[in-house]
Structure 1
């Protein structure tokens, strides 16, 4: 019998998602307004320390709206993690601003506070004080928020906290996305919960969130006709998509529990392979383990790419860690501070299948194939 495909992180649904979507259709609430959208935002607020919430079409659009609300414009500079997905950076360029890339630390894999302050000081001496910081919590692991917030406050630079991969993670008990001027979530199909495609912008500033909702619905002014005094965007999440999100939110903690169990299973079962290491949590850090990630040592007899291809032959999807932005063809001309750490992580790192719908049989099959790869 041929083995089934094991995906890296596939979406999966339960009965409640179907129930809420059916309600939306039965009530004919299928536009970007409706009771399920309102309730979804309320439920997100409840798990985000009561922050105000604007549910939007993607995490990317949430970052874009945050930059607009912060007044980022042509010629401004925005500091950003280099070791991330391009969606964290693209909105900077949408605004004709300049991304400034910062290296990671090797313990959290997130933005280095040391490089953050170094970059701020250097940009100021060049007469270009950065206007914002986009901080990413990578693979669900919290960044060192206390140090980063201290630096940002010292220089009076606002932070957009990119928790696209971090829903359900906490930093000393505080939910990721809730410690800065703005936070963003992503509900893309591969995330820990999904709305098929979607995201959210959160803030303690209700006026800003109301403005985000206004901009996200084509900036339609309050008039009987179509009146526009601002450039708007088609960024609002639909009521139907929010219906899926309502059902998914109900099982968020179950998803986190399952993914942490998957991480622990891999770590335990692969502990005898000395060439493989796993990122550990620092005290006070609680990761949702969105994706289990590993590093293959430099002296390993097989490379991360050889392991990826070996798994692929058995229909097991794995993926290299993010290629740093300062190495990307589209971004390589922009300034970068450091880079050795993120380049190291990209060179030796691999994401393993981590979907919360994986069976014990799936996990055993993956572990056995990895062991086989290192035995050959």
Structure 2
């Protein structure tokens, strides 16, 4: 499938190779090392926070952040229903239960009105959520200007799942800097990648120290191996951190390439009735994925038909996240729903958005879409 155009493949090249080779030649090939330390400092500086912990995945970051906040069995954690399953899984790892809340239909992000309703309902029941985990969906920050005051009113800490949003902003403030902690993912298809990896960021020094301790098997600072509680093997490799540092240096350029690609899509669909880009008015996103929502009655076609057409041309697209309340693993979980996430899942489609796409590939995708639209 040499001619295949992928949704969001890694964008790596000579700079990443040089960083990796230098790390390898340094002899620091085991987990941790100077590249990890530098990567943590650079990400923290980029986000505008005081501390960062490089980890094996974004999921590990969510798990540790919740543990550091004291989340555990018998407690409830609020999670958007429209997200990747890792957000909910991290809650379950602690022994707590996720409670799902529907999304703002314009952005796909957590609906602040529903969040207030849920926290008020819990208050009337004599309960309080242990945490709220908003998700910056597809690289567009949630509405923290409304979410944070609601959570503050009810005394609920916020852990920002910014897995998809490094480089995005909200009102000039960087993704990952909202709430008690923020978490990024550096999985292979993210805006930057370390192959696999993640980062927890925060201004809370005690929380970060706790997460760092738990991430290194909760080893006590003594010469022999001593553990007074259960920890986790969650730290990032020094070699992978070297790749991440090179990627971070190129982040602004990669975001700009994705932004230009999104503009191509916006122009292509501007005159199409019933078709809109999710979070189309967000000019502070990182444009990780450009996602469409198609009203099949107004458009005269459905998102799946476009996906099939592009697949025949070896162009990958992807349905949007299946809501958590529809996942068999979370059947029966408490949820506050309006149907917005269901509609986005049924009518949504992610288009090729990678910063490594060349002009020929971009032209092939745009031509394929134009051919599809022209036939209708």
TM superposition score category, shorter chain reference:
over 0.9
Unaligned runs of at least 5 residues, structure 1: none
2:218 equivalent to 1:219: yes
Residue 311 of structure 2 is matched in structure 1 by 312
Query: How far apart are 1:298 and its partner, in Å?
Result: 2.5
Secondary structure, counterpart of 2:200 in structure 1: strand
Residue 336 of structure 1 is matched in structure 2 by 335
Residue 140 of structure 1 is matched in structure 2 by 139
2:302 equivalent to 1:291: no
Give a deviation string over 1:120-163, Cα, whole Å, max 9, x none.
11122223211100000101111111110110111110000011
C-alpha separation in 2, matches of 1:192 and 1:79? 26
Residue 62 of structure 2 is matched in structure 1 by 63
C-alpha separation in 2, matches of 1:328 and 1:54? 31
Give a deviation string over 1:290-316, Cα, whole Å, max 9, x none.
001111123133221121111111110
Query: How far apart are 1:3 and its partner, in Å?
Result: 7.3
C-alpha separation in 2, matches of 1:166 and 1:358? 20
Higher mean displacement: 126-135 or 238-247? 126-135
Give a deviation string over 1:197-254, Cα, whole Å, max 9, x none.
0001111011221221111111111122110012110000010010000100000000
C-alpha separation in 2, matches of 1:276 and 1:154? 38
Q: What are the equivalent positions in structure 2 for 1:82-97 lying under 5 Å apart?
A: 82-97=81-96
Secondary structure, counterpart of 1:128 in structure 2: coil
Contact 1:270–1:371 (CA under 8 A) maintained in structure 2:
no
Q: TM-score, normalised by structure 1?
A: 0.96
Query: How far apart are 1:280 and its partner, in Å?
Result: 4.4
Residue 155 of structure 1 is matched in structure 2 by 154
Residue 18 of structure 1 is matched in structure 2 by 17
Residues 260 and 371 (structure 1 numbering): CA distance in 2 closer, same or farther, change over 3 Å?
same
- Runs of 4+ more than 6 Å apart: none
C-alpha separation in 1, matches of 2:358 and 2:12? 15
Residue 102 of structure 1 is matched in structure 2 by 101
Residue 29 of structure 1 is matched in structure 2 by 28
C-alpha separation in 1, matches of 2:72 and 2:159? 16
Contact 1:58–1:186 (CA under 8 A) maintained in structure 2:
yes
Query: How far apart are 1:176 and its partner, in Å?
Result: 0.8
C-alpha separation in 1, matches of 2:272 and 2:359? 21
Contact 2:112–2:147 (CA under 8 A) maintained in structure 1:
yes
Contact 2:49–2:177 (CA under 8 A) maintained in structure 1:
no
Contact 1:302–1:374 (CA under 8 A) maintained in structure 2:
no
C-alpha separation in 2, matches of 1:16 and 1:371? 36
Query: How far apart are 1:354 and its partner, in Å?
Result: 0.3
Contact 2:49–2:202 (CA under 8 A) maintained in structure 1:
no
Contact 1:108–1:142 (CA under 8 A) maintained in structure 2:
no
Secondary structure, counterpart of 1:136 in structure 2: coil
Q: What are the equivalent positions in structure 2 for 1:241-280 lying under 5 Å apart?
A: 241-280=240-279
Residue 51 of structure 1 is matched in structure 2 by 50
Contact 1:317–1:352 (CA under 8 A) maintained in structure 2:
yes
Q: TM-score, normalised by structure 2?
A: 0.96
C-alpha separation in 2, matches of 1:344 and 1:92? 25
Query: How far apart are 1:189 and its partner, in Å?
Result: 0.3
Unaligned runs of at least 5 residues, structure 2: none
C-alpha separation in 2, matches of 1:269 and 1:282? 16
Residue 113 of structure 2 is matched in structure 1 by 114
Contact 2:291–2:350 (CA under 8 A) maintained in structure 1:
yes
Residue 8 of structure 1 is matched in structure 2 by 7
Contact 2:69–2:207 (CA under 8 A) maintained in structure 1:
no
C-alpha separation in 2, matches of 1:37 and 1:135? 27
Secondary structure, counterpart of 2:105 in structure 1: coil
Secondary structure, counterpart of 1:319 in structure 2: coil
Give a deviation string over 1:18-68, Cα, whole Å, max 9, x none.
112112211210112211110000100111113200000000000000010
Contact 1:321–1:350 (CA under 8 A) maintained in structure 2:
yes
Contact 1:166–1:176 (CA under 8 A) maintained in structure 2:
yes
Higher mean displacement: 149-158 or 8-17? 8-17
